[in-house]
Copies of this chain bind each other. A is one copy, B any other.
Protein backbone atom coordinates (compact mmCIF):
# COMPACT_ATOMS: atom_id res chain seq x y z
CA UNK A 1 0.00 0.00 0.00
CA UNK A 2 1.38 3.36 -1.03
CA UNK A 3 1.51 6.27 1.41
CA UNK A 4 -0.97 8.37 -0.56
CA UNK A 5 -3.45 5.50 -0.59
CA UNK A 6 -2.95 5.15 3.15
CA UNK A 7 -3.82 8.82 3.66
CA UNK A 8 -7.09 8.41 1.78
CA UNK A 9 -7.90 5.03 3.33
CA UNK A 10 -7.14 6.28 6.85
CA UNK A 11 -9.09 9.51 6.51
CA UNK A 12 -12.08 7.73 5.05
CA UNK A 13 -11.95 5.35 8.02
CA UNK A 14 -11.93 8.34 10.39
CA UNK A 15 -15.09 9.64 8.69
CA UNK A 16 -16.73 6.23 8.89
CA UNK A 17 -16.09 6.13 12.64
CA UNK A 18 -17.33 9.70 13.13
CA UNK A 19 -20.51 8.93 11.20
CA UNK A 20 -20.95 5.65 13.07
CA UNK A 21 -21.22 7.51 16.37
CA UNK A 22 -23.41 10.28 14.98
CA UNK A 23 -25.89 7.71 13.69
CA UNK A 24 -25.59 5.14 16.46
CA UNK A 25 -29.15 5.73 17.72
CA UNK A 26 -30.58 4.70 14.35
CA UNK A 27 -29.47 1.11 14.76
CA UNK A 28 -30.89 -1.62 16.96
CA UNK A 29 -28.39 -2.27 19.74
CA UNK A 30 -28.30 -5.98 18.83
CA UNK A 31 -27.66 -7.24 15.30
CA UNK A 32 -30.22 -9.23 13.36
CA UNK A 33 -27.92 -12.02 12.27
CA UNK A 34 -28.25 -15.70 12.95
CA UNK A 35 -25.32 -17.98 13.68
CA UNK A 36 -23.24 -18.73 10.57
CA UNK A 37 -24.87 -15.87 8.63
CA UNK A 38 -21.62 -13.95 8.71
CA UNK A 39 -19.40 -16.94 7.98
CA UNK A 40 -21.50 -17.67 4.90
CA UNK A 41 -20.73 -14.22 3.53
CA UNK A 42 -17.00 -14.90 3.57
CA UNK A 43 -15.02 -16.78 0.92
CA UNK A 44 -13.41 -20.04 1.92
CA UNK A 45 -9.90 -18.87 1.21
CA UNK A 46 -7.91 -15.71 1.72
CA UNK A 47 -7.74 -13.64 -1.45
CA UNK A 48 -4.73 -14.46 -3.58
CA UNK A 49 -4.35 -10.93 -4.97
CA UNK A 50 -4.67 -7.56 -3.28
CA UNK A 51 -8.09 -5.95 -3.11
CA UNK A 52 -8.75 -2.23 -3.30
CA UNK A 53 -9.27 -0.41 -0.01
CA UNK A 54 -12.52 1.05 -1.31
CA UNK A 55 -13.90 -2.46 -1.79
CA UNK A 56 -12.72 -3.46 1.63
CA UNK A 57 -14.52 -0.56 3.27
CA UNK A 58 -17.66 -1.47 1.40
CA UNK A 59 -17.39 -5.01 2.80
CA UNK A 60 -16.78 -3.56 6.22
CA UNK A 61 -19.92 -1.44 6.06
CA UNK A 62 -22.14 -4.02 4.43
CA UNK A 63 -20.98 -7.19 6.18
CA UNK A 64 -19.12 -6.42 9.40
CA UNK A 65 -21.15 -3.54 10.85
CA UNK A 66 -24.50 -5.39 10.56
CA UNK A 67 -22.99 -8.31 12.49
CA UNK A 68 -21.70 -6.46 15.53
CA UNK A 69 -23.34 -5.57 18.81
CA UNK A 70 -23.26 -1.83 19.40
CA UNK A 71 -21.53 -1.43 22.74
CA UNK A 72 -21.74 2.35 22.57
CA UNK A 73 -25.40 2.60 21.70
CA UNK A 74 -27.16 4.43 24.54
CA UNK A 75 -29.48 1.41 24.63
CA UNK A 76 -26.62 -0.92 25.51
CA UNK A 77 -27.03 -1.60 29.25
CA UNK A 78 -25.23 -4.94 29.58
CA UNK A 79 -22.17 -6.11 31.48
CA UNK A 80 -20.03 -3.08 32.35
CA UNK A 81 -19.08 -0.34 29.91
CA UNK A 82 -16.13 -0.87 27.64
CA UNK A 83 -14.28 2.38 27.30
CA UNK A 84 -14.24 4.29 24.10
CA UNK A 85 -13.74 7.95 23.45
CA UNK A 86 -12.99 9.84 20.31
CA UNK A 87 -9.66 10.96 21.79
CA UNK A 88 -8.73 7.42 22.74
CA UNK A 89 -9.45 6.20 19.21
CA UNK A 90 -6.81 8.62 17.95
CA UNK A 91 -4.55 7.49 20.82
CA UNK A 92 -4.82 3.90 19.64
CA UNK A 93 -4.21 5.05 16.10
CA UNK A 94 -0.97 6.82 17.02
CA UNK A 95 0.11 3.79 19.05
CA UNK A 96 -0.41 1.36 16.19
CA UNK A 97 1.01 3.95 13.81
CA UNK A 98 4.37 3.97 15.59
CA UNK A 99 4.33 0.19 15.70
CA UNK A 100 6.82 -0.11 18.54
CA UNK A 101 7.17 -2.81 21.16
CA UNK A 102 8.38 -2.24 24.68
CA UNK A 103 10.31 -4.80 26.64
CA UNK A 104 13.58 -3.32 27.89
CA UNK A 105 14.08 0.43 28.33
CA UNK A 106 16.11 0.74 25.11
CA UNK A 107 13.46 -1.02 23.05
CA UNK A 108 11.64 2.35 23.38
CA UNK A 109 12.40 4.65 26.30
CA UNK A 110 9.14 6.60 26.10
CA UNK A 111 7.16 3.36 26.20
CA UNK A 112 8.50 2.65 29.69
CA UNK A 113 8.78 6.21 30.97
CA UNK A 114 5.38 7.47 29.81
CA UNK A 115 3.81 4.46 31.52
CA UNK A 116 5.58 5.38 34.76
CA UNK A 117 4.25 8.92 34.41
CA UNK A 118 0.62 8.09 33.67
CA UNK A 119 0.17 5.32 36.22
CA UNK A 120 1.57 7.71 38.83
CA UNK A 121 -0.86 10.41 37.69
CA UNK A 122 -3.72 7.95 38.02
CA UNK A 123 -2.72 6.83 41.52
CA UNK A 124 -2.92 10.48 42.60
CA UNK A 125 -6.18 11.12 40.74
CA UNK A 126 -7.82 8.17 42.52
CA UNK A 127 -6.44 9.11 45.93
CA UNK A 128 -4.68 5.76 46.32
CA UNK A 129 -1.96 5.35 48.99
CA UNK A 130 1.27 7.09 48.09
CA UNK A 131 3.23 3.83 48.15
CA UNK A 132 1.52 2.86 44.87
CA UNK A 133 3.16 5.73 42.98
CA UNK A 134 6.21 4.67 40.98
CA UNK A 135 7.72 8.08 41.50
CA UNK A 136 7.37 8.02 45.31
CA UNK A 137 9.95 6.40 47.60
CA UNK A 138 9.73 2.65 48.14
CA UNK A 139 9.24 -0.43 46.00
CA UNK A 140 5.59 0.14 45.04
CA UNK A 141 4.30 1.06 41.63
CA UNK A 142 1.85 0.62 38.83
CA UNK A 143 1.90 -1.23 35.51
CA UNK A 144 -0.52 -1.56 32.61
CA UNK A 145 -1.80 -5.09 32.02
CA UNK A 146 -4.24 -6.40 29.43
CA UNK A 147 -7.12 -7.21 31.76
CA UNK A 148 -8.18 -7.49 35.37
CA UNK A 149 -8.18 -11.29 34.85
CA UNK A 150 -4.51 -11.17 34.00
CA UNK A 151 -3.75 -8.82 36.90
CA UNK A 152 -5.51 -11.11 39.36
CA UNK A 153 -3.59 -14.11 38.06
CA UNK A 154 -0.28 -12.22 38.12
CA UNK A 155 -0.81 -11.33 41.78
CA UNK A 156 -1.93 -14.85 42.64
CA UNK A 157 1.32 -16.23 41.25
CA UNK A 158 3.29 -13.58 43.14
CA UNK A 159 1.40 -14.25 46.37
CA UNK A 160 2.16 -17.96 46.08
CA UNK A 161 5.82 -17.26 45.40
CA UNK A 162 6.07 -14.82 48.31
CA UNK A 163 4.44 -17.19 50.77
CA UNK A 164 6.76 -19.98 49.67
CA UNK A 165 9.85 -17.76 50.05
CA UNK A 166 8.79 -16.73 53.53
CA UNK A 167 8.14 -20.28 54.62
CA UNK A 168 11.45 -21.45 53.22
CA UNK A 169 13.24 -18.60 54.97
CA UNK A 170 11.89 -19.71 58.33
CA UNK A 171 12.31 -23.43 57.70
CA UNK A 172 14.74 -24.70 55.08
CA UNK A 173 13.56 -28.28 55.47
CA UNK A 174 10.01 -27.79 54.21
CA UNK A 175 8.66 -30.00 51.44
CA UNK A 176 8.04 -27.30 48.85
CA UNK A 177 5.97 -29.49 46.55
CA UNK A 178 3.69 -30.56 49.35
CA UNK A 179 3.33 -27.03 50.76
CA UNK A 180 2.26 -25.64 47.39
CA UNK A 181 -0.76 -27.91 47.32
CA UNK A 182 -2.03 -26.41 50.59
CA UNK A 183 -2.38 -22.79 49.53
CA UNK A 184 -5.89 -21.35 49.48
CA UNK A 185 -7.41 -18.35 47.68
CA UNK A 186 -10.50 -16.70 49.15
CA UNK A 187 -13.01 -14.52 47.39
CA UNK A 188 -16.72 -13.85 47.68
CA UNK A 189 -19.47 -15.68 45.83
CA UNK A 190 -20.10 -12.34 44.07
CA UNK A 191 -16.63 -11.77 42.68
CA UNK A 192 -15.95 -11.90 38.96
CA UNK A 193 -15.56 -15.37 37.45
CA UNK A 194 -11.98 -14.48 36.52
CA UNK A 195 -11.02 -14.81 40.19
CA UNK A 196 -12.19 -18.40 40.35
CA UNK A 197 -10.42 -19.02 37.02
CA UNK A 198 -7.14 -17.65 38.34
CA UNK A 199 -7.38 -19.99 41.31
CA UNK A 200 -7.79 -22.98 39.01
CA UNK A 201 -5.03 -21.87 36.62
CA UNK A 202 -2.66 -21.21 39.51
CA UNK A 203 -3.50 -24.58 41.11
CA UNK A 204 -4.81 -23.08 44.34
CA UNK A 205 -7.70 -24.36 46.42
CA UNK A 206 -10.50 -21.85 45.84
CA UNK A 207 -13.09 -20.74 48.41
CA UNK A 208 -16.09 -18.75 47.26
CA UNK A 209 -17.32 -17.29 50.53
CA UNK A 210 -20.92 -16.42 51.24
CA UNK A 211 -21.77 -12.73 51.25
CA UNK A 212 -24.19 -10.87 53.49
CA UNK A 213 -27.54 -9.40 52.49
CA UNK A 214 -25.80 -6.53 50.76
CA UNK A 215 -23.58 -8.75 48.67
CA UNK A 216 -20.50 -7.92 50.75
CA UNK A 217 -17.83 -10.25 52.04
CA UNK A 218 -17.62 -9.62 55.79
CA UNK A 219 -14.53 -9.88 57.97
CA UNK A 220 -16.18 -12.37 60.26
CA UNK A 221 -16.84 -14.76 57.34
CA UNK A 222 -13.25 -14.53 56.14
CA UNK A 223 -11.88 -15.07 59.62
CA UNK A 224 -13.93 -18.23 60.09
CA UNK A 225 -12.84 -19.54 56.70
CA UNK A 226 -9.18 -18.99 57.60
CA UNK A 227 -9.63 -20.78 60.92
CA UNK A 228 -11.49 -23.63 59.35
CA UNK A 229 -8.82 -24.19 56.71
CA UNK A 230 -5.93 -23.81 59.11
CA UNK A 231 -7.45 -26.46 61.34
CA UNK A 232 -7.22 -28.79 58.32
CA UNK A 233 -3.56 -27.97 57.77
CA UNK A 234 -4.24 -25.68 54.81
CA UNK A 235 -2.54 -22.30 54.31
CA UNK A 236 -4.44 -19.07 53.57
CA UNK A 237 -2.41 -17.35 50.86
CA UNK A 238 -4.41 -14.90 48.72
CA UNK A 239 -7.62 -12.91 49.17
CA UNK A 240 -9.38 -11.12 46.32
CA UNK A 241 -11.92 -8.55 47.46
CA UNK A 242 -14.09 -6.45 45.16
CA UNK A 243 -14.75 -2.77 44.84
CA UNK A 244 -17.82 -3.10 42.68
CA UNK A 245 -18.91 -6.72 42.23
CA UNK A 246 -19.94 -7.77 38.74
CA UNK A 247 -23.56 -8.43 39.59
CA UNK A 248 -24.67 -5.52 41.75
CA UNK A 249 -21.56 -3.37 42.19
CA UNK A 250 -21.16 -4.08 45.92
CA UNK A 251 -18.06 -2.90 47.81
CA UNK A 252 -16.36 -5.29 50.22
CA UNK A 253 -15.43 -3.68 53.57
CA UNK A 254 -11.64 -3.63 53.45
CA UNK A 255 -11.41 -2.09 56.91
CA UNK A 256 -12.76 -5.43 58.19
CA UNK A 257 -10.94 -7.74 55.78
CA UNK A 258 -7.59 -5.95 55.75
CA UNK A 259 -6.53 -6.45 59.38
CA UNK A 260 -7.37 -10.17 59.18
CA UNK A 261 -5.21 -10.62 56.08
CA UNK A 262 -2.36 -8.66 57.61
CA UNK A 263 -2.40 -10.76 60.76
CA UNK A 264 -2.04 -13.92 58.69
CA UNK A 265 0.49 -12.49 56.22
CA UNK A 266 -2.00 -13.14 53.41
CA UNK A 267 -1.81 -11.13 50.16
CA UNK A 268 -4.86 -8.88 49.80
CA UNK A 269 -5.80 -7.92 46.23
CA UNK A 270 -8.62 -5.57 45.24
CA UNK A 271 -10.51 -6.05 41.99
CA UNK A 272 -11.93 -2.60 41.24
CA UNK A 273 -12.08 -3.21 37.49
CA UNK A 274 -15.16 -1.09 36.84
CA UNK A 275 -15.83 0.98 39.96
CA UNK A 276 -12.23 2.02 40.63
CA UNK A 277 -12.64 4.95 38.28
CA UNK A 278 -15.28 6.44 40.63
CA UNK A 279 -12.54 7.29 43.13
CA UNK A 280 -11.59 10.26 40.95
CA UNK A 281 -14.55 11.84 42.76
CA UNK A 282 -13.71 12.47 46.43
CA UNK A 283 -17.31 11.80 47.44
CA UNK A 284 -16.79 8.08 46.74
CA UNK A 285 -13.52 7.61 48.57
CA UNK A 286 -15.22 6.63 51.81
CA UNK A 287 -15.90 3.34 50.01
CA UNK A 288 -12.19 2.52 50.04
CA UNK A 289 -11.78 2.72 53.78
CA UNK A 290 -8.98 0.34 54.77
CA UNK A 291 -7.16 0.60 51.43
CA UNK A 292 -3.86 0.93 53.30
CA UNK A 293 -4.06 -2.81 54.06
CA UNK A 294 -3.94 -3.95 50.45
CA UNK A 295 -1.00 -5.47 48.62
CA UNK A 296 -2.38 -4.84 45.16
CA UNK A 297 -5.20 -3.01 43.44
CA UNK A 298 -6.42 -3.27 39.86
CA UNK A 299 -8.83 -1.08 37.92
CA UNK A 300 -9.56 -0.84 34.21
CA UNK A 301 -9.42 2.61 32.61
CA UNK A 302 -10.79 0.69 29.62
CA UNK A 303 -14.07 0.32 31.46
CA UNK A 304 -15.20 3.66 32.86
CA UNK A 305 -12.36 6.05 32.09
CA UNK A 306 -12.82 6.75 28.39
CA UNK A 307 -9.81 4.66 27.40
CA UNK A 308 -10.13 2.13 24.63
CA UNK A 309 -9.94 -1.54 25.45
CA UNK A 310 -7.46 -2.88 26.56
CA UNK A 311 -5.88 -0.98 29.43
CA UNK A 312 -5.93 -2.42 32.95
CA UNK A 313 -3.82 -0.68 35.61
CA UNK A 314 -2.38 -2.81 38.40
CA UNK A 315 -0.73 -1.31 41.49
CA UNK A 316 1.45 -3.34 43.81
CA UNK A 317 2.93 -2.41 47.17
CA UNK A 318 6.22 -4.14 46.35
CA UNK A 319 7.19 -4.62 42.72
CA UNK A 320 9.90 -7.09 43.70
CA UNK A 321 7.17 -9.56 44.63
CA UNK A 322 6.33 -9.58 40.91
CA UNK A 323 9.93 -9.55 39.74
CA UNK A 324 10.97 -12.45 41.95
CA UNK A 325 8.13 -14.42 40.33
CA UNK A 326 8.45 -13.41 36.69
CA UNK A 327 12.17 -12.73 36.26
CA UNK A 328 12.96 -16.37 35.70
CA UNK A 329 16.62 -15.78 34.92
CA UNK A 330 17.25 -13.31 37.74
CA UNK A 331 18.18 -10.42 35.43
CA UNK A 332 17.02 -7.75 37.88
CA UNK A 333 18.92 -6.61 40.95
CA UNK A 334 16.26 -6.82 43.64
CA UNK A 335 18.01 -4.07 45.60
CA UNK A 336 17.81 -1.57 42.76
CA UNK A 337 15.94 1.39 44.17
CA UNK A 338 15.44 2.72 40.66
CA UNK A 339 13.32 -0.25 39.59
CA UNK A 340 10.04 1.62 40.01
CA UNK A 341 11.25 4.60 37.97
CA UNK A 342 12.92 2.54 35.20
CA UNK A 343 10.97 -0.63 35.49
CA UNK A 344 11.79 -3.60 33.34
CA UNK A 345 8.08 -4.10 32.92
CA UNK A 346 8.55 -7.40 31.12
CA UNK A 347 9.20 -8.88 34.56
CA UNK A 348 6.00 -7.45 36.02
CA UNK A 349 3.74 -9.56 33.79
CA UNK A 350 3.13 -12.80 31.88
CA UNK A 351 4.15 -11.91 28.28
CA UNK A 352 7.65 -10.69 27.35
CA UNK A 353 6.60 -7.74 25.23
CA UNK A 354 4.22 -4.84 25.61
CA UNK A 355 2.26 -2.42 23.50
CA UNK A 356 2.53 1.34 24.02
CA UNK A 357 -0.78 1.50 25.88
CA UNK A 358 0.42 4.40 28.03
CA UNK A 359 0.06 6.60 24.96
CA UNK A 360 -3.71 6.35 24.70
CA UNK A 361 -4.06 6.80 28.46
CA UNK A 362 -1.93 9.95 28.28
CA UNK A 363 -3.95 11.28 25.36
CA UNK A 364 -7.26 10.66 27.13
CA UNK A 365 -6.06 12.36 30.32
CA UNK A 366 -4.82 15.38 28.37
CA UNK A 367 -7.85 15.75 26.10
CA UNK A 368 -10.47 15.30 28.84
CA UNK A 369 -8.49 16.37 31.90
CA UNK A 370 -9.15 15.02 35.40
CA UNK A 371 -12.24 17.22 35.47
CA UNK A 372 -13.60 15.52 32.34
CA UNK A 373 -13.34 12.09 33.97
CA UNK A 374 -15.07 13.33 37.13
CA UNK A 375 -17.83 14.88 35.02
CA UNK A 376 -18.43 11.60 33.22
CA UNK A 377 -18.70 9.63 36.46
CA UNK A 378 -21.11 12.11 38.03
CA UNK A 379 -23.23 12.48 34.92
CA UNK A 380 -23.60 8.74 34.52
CA UNK A 381 -24.41 8.11 38.18
CA UNK A 382 -27.08 10.80 37.90
CA UNK A 383 -28.51 9.08 34.83
CA UNK A 384 -28.65 5.78 36.72
CA UNK A 385 -30.43 7.53 39.59
CA UNK A 386 -32.87 9.04 37.14
CA UNK A 387 -33.61 5.58 35.79
CA UNK A 388 -34.03 4.22 39.33
CA UNK A 389 -36.57 6.94 40.12
CA UNK A 390 -38.57 5.97 37.02
CA UNK A 391 -38.61 2.33 38.11
CA UNK A 392 -39.64 3.31 41.63
CA UNK A 393 -42.61 5.14 40.15
CA UNK A 394 -43.95 1.90 38.67
CA UNK A 395 -45.61 -0.24 41.32
CA UNK A 396 -45.29 -3.39 39.18
CA UNK A 397 -41.51 -3.31 39.61
CA UNK A 398 -39.13 -3.43 42.53
CA UNK A 399 -35.51 -2.33 42.75
CA UNK A 400 -33.20 -4.68 44.57
CA UNK A 401 -30.54 -4.13 45.83
CA UNK A 402 -30.10 -0.38 46.13
CA UNK A 403 -28.43 1.00 42.98
CA UNK A 404 -24.67 1.35 43.14
CA UNK A 405 -22.73 3.58 40.73
CA UNK A 406 -24.45 3.06 37.36
CA UNK A 407 -25.88 -0.39 38.11
CA UNK A 408 -29.61 -0.60 38.76
CA UNK A 409 -31.15 -4.05 39.30
CA UNK A 410 -34.89 -4.53 39.18
CA UNK A 411 -37.51 -7.24 38.89
CA UNK A 412 -41.24 -7.73 38.43
CA UNK A 413 -43.17 -8.08 41.68
CA UNK A 414 -45.11 -10.86 39.96
CA UNK A 415 -42.15 -13.18 40.22
CA UNK A 416 -38.90 -14.41 38.79
CA UNK A 417 -40.41 -16.39 35.96
CA UNK A 418 -42.05 -13.34 34.42
CA UNK A 419 -38.93 -11.24 35.05
CA UNK A 420 -36.97 -13.76 33.01
CA UNK A 421 -39.59 -13.66 30.26
CA UNK A 422 -39.45 -9.86 30.32
CA UNK A 423 -35.70 -9.90 29.69
CA UNK A 424 -36.06 -12.51 26.95
CA UNK A 425 -38.76 -10.45 25.29
CA UNK A 426 -36.71 -7.25 25.42
CA UNK A 427 -33.53 -8.85 24.12
CA UNK A 428 -35.40 -10.55 21.33
CA UNK A 429 -36.79 -7.16 20.25
CA UNK A 430 -33.14 -5.95 19.99
CA UNK A 431 -34.02 -2.36 20.98
CA UNK A 432 -32.29 -2.65 24.35
CA UNK A 433 -29.65 -5.02 25.70
CA UNK A 434 -29.35 -6.03 29.35
CA UNK A 435 -28.24 -9.17 31.18
CA UNK A 436 -29.50 -10.82 34.35
CA UNK A 437 -28.17 -11.44 37.81
CA UNK A 438 -29.33 -13.53 40.74
CA UNK A 439 -29.68 -11.54 43.95
CA UNK A 440 -30.92 -13.10 47.20
CA UNK A 441 -32.31 -15.97 45.15
CA UNK A 442 -34.25 -13.62 42.91
CA UNK A 443 -33.75 -13.26 39.18
CA UNK A 444 -33.09 -9.57 38.59
CA UNK A 445 -32.51 -7.57 35.42
CA UNK A 446 -29.35 -5.55 35.54
CA UNK A 447 -29.53 -2.13 33.86
CA UNK A 448 -26.18 -0.38 33.55
CA UNK A 449 -25.49 3.03 32.04
CA UNK A 450 -22.67 2.07 29.67
CA UNK A 451 -22.36 4.39 26.70
CA UNK A 452 -20.66 7.69 27.36
CA UNK A 453 -23.02 9.19 24.78
CA UNK A 454 -26.09 8.49 26.94
CA UNK A 455 -28.37 11.44 27.67
CA UNK A 456 -31.45 11.78 29.85
CA UNK A 457 -33.58 11.39 26.71
CA UNK A 458 -31.84 8.10 25.97
CA UNK A 459 -32.61 6.82 29.47
CA UNK A 460 -36.24 7.81 29.01
CA UNK A 461 -36.26 5.94 25.71
CA UNK A 462 -34.82 2.83 27.38
CA UNK A 463 -37.43 3.15 30.11
CA UNK A 464 -40.25 3.38 27.55
CA UNK A 465 -38.96 0.25 25.84
CA UNK A 466 -38.87 -1.55 29.19
CA UNK A 467 -42.38 -0.39 30.05
CA UNK A 468 -43.70 -1.67 26.72
CA UNK A 469 -42.07 -5.00 27.57
CA UNK A 470 -43.66 -5.04 31.02
CA UNK A 471 -47.05 -4.32 29.51
CA UNK A 472 -46.63 -7.10 26.98
CA UNK A 473 -45.39 -9.71 29.42
CA UNK A 474 -47.99 -8.97 32.09
CA UNK A 475 -50.83 -9.02 29.58
CA UNK A 476 -49.62 -12.27 27.98
CA UNK A 477 -48.44 -14.03 31.11
CA UNK A 478 -51.00 -16.85 30.76
CA UNK A 479 -49.55 -17.77 27.37
CA UNK A 480 -45.97 -18.39 28.34
CA UNK A 481 -44.74 -21.91 28.36
CA UNK A 482 -42.42 -22.49 31.29
CA UNK A 483 -39.79 -24.14 29.21
CA UNK A 484 -39.86 -22.28 25.96
CA UNK A 485 -37.61 -19.31 25.62
CA UNK A 486 -38.92 -16.17 23.96
CA UNK A 487 -35.54 -15.83 22.27
CA UNK A 488 -35.74 -16.78 18.63
CA UNK A 489 -31.98 -17.07 18.28
CA UNK A 490 -30.44 -20.02 20.03
CA UNK A 491 -27.02 -18.40 20.40
CA UNK A 492 -28.63 -15.37 22.04
CA UNK A 493 -28.28 -17.11 25.38
CA UNK A 494 -28.17 -14.56 28.16
CA UNK A 495 -25.32 -14.27 30.58
CA UNK A 496 -26.29 -14.37 34.19
CA UNK A 497 -23.87 -12.51 36.38
CA UNK A 498 -22.92 -14.26 39.57
CA UNK A 499 -24.43 -12.51 42.57
Show the binding face of A for B, using Cβ within 8 Å.
1, 3, 5-7, 9-11, 13-18, 20-22, 30-31, 33, 35-39, 42, 44-51, 53, 56, 59-60, 63-64, 67-72, 78-79, 82-90, 92-94, 96-101, 104-111, 113-114, 116-118, 121-122, 124-125, 135, 146-147, 149-150, 153, 157, 177-178, 180-181, 192-194, 196-197, 200-201, 203, 308-310, 325-326, 328-329, 341-342, 350-353, 355, 359, 363, 365-372, 489, 491-493, 495
Contacts A6-B86, A11-B11, A47-B365 aside, 6 further interface pairs with beta carbons under 8 A come to: A3-B18, A33-B109, A38-B109, A38-B113, A46-B369, A200-B328
* A178 / chain B contacts, CB cutoff of 8 Å: 177-178, 181
Which B residues are CB-close (under 8 A) to A35? 105, 109, 342
Which of chain B's residues have a CB closer than 8 A to the CB of A125? 46
Are the C-beta atoms of A36 and B87 separated by less than 8 Å?
no
CB distance from A124 to the nearest CB of B (A): 6
Within 8 Å by CB of A117, from B22, B39, B79, B94, lies B39
Given A46-B121, A201-B350, A495 and B94 touching (CB < 8 A)? no
Q: Which residues of B contact A350 (CB under 8 A)?
A: 149-150, 153, 197, 201, 350
The 10 lowest CB-CB distance pairs between A and B, nearest first, are A84-B99, A17-B97, A67-B110, A177-B181, A10-B14, A92-B96, A6-B86, A46-B121, A147-B351, A38-B113
Q: Is the CB of B1 within 8 A of A86?
A: yes
A304 CB, min distance to chain B CBs, angstroms: 13
Question: CB within 8 A of A351: which of B44, B94, B101, B194?
Answer: B194
A369 touches B157 (CB 8 A): no
A90 touches B9 (CB 8 A): yes
Which residues of B sit under 8 angstroms from A3, Cβ to Cβ?
Answer: 18, 21-22, 86
Q: How far is the CA of A342 from the CA of B84 in the complex (A)?
A: 27
Determine the distance from Cα of A241 to Cα of B277 in the docked complex, in whole angstroms: 43
Candidates B50, B106, B492; contact of A106 at CB < 8 Å: B492
- Quickly give the copy total for this chain: 2
A30/B106 contact (C-beta < 8 A), A50-B368, A86-B3, A96-B92 known: yes
Q: How far is the CB of A253 from chain B (nearest CB, A)?
A: 26
Please determine whether B197 and A369 come into contact, CB atoms closer than 8 angstroms. no
A15 vs B196: C-alpha distance in the bound complex, in angstroms?
46
Q: With contacts A13-B94, A90-B10, A96-B88 known, is A110 near B38, CB below 8 A?
A: yes
Q: Is the CB of A14 within 8 A of B18?
A: no
Shortest Cβ distance from A98 into B: residue: B68
Nearest CB of B to A210, in Å: 18
Asked whether A10 lies within 8 Å of B17 as measured between CB atoms, the reply is: yes
Contact of A87 (CB < 8 Å), options: B9, B30, B310: B9
- List 22 interface pairs A-B (beta carbons < 8 Å), by A numbering: A3-B22, A10-B18, A10-B89, A35-B105, A35-B342, A39-B135, A44-B135, A46-B125, A46-B369, A49-B369, A50-B372, A68-B111, A84-B99, A96-B309, A104-B493, A146-B351, A149-B350, A149-B351, A150-B350, A192-B352, A197-B328, A201-B350
Pairwise interchain contact B153-A197, C-beta atoms closer than 8 A:
no
Check if B94 sits within 8 Å of A48, measured CB to CB: no
Residue of B nearest to A427 (CB): B106
- The smallest C-beta distance from A361 to any residue of chain B, in angstroms, reads 10
Q: Are A53 and B87 in contact (CB under 8 A)?
A: yes
From A34, which residue of chain B is reached at the shortest CB distance? B109
Q: Contacting A56 at CB < 8 Å: which of B92, B325, B367, B491?
A: B367
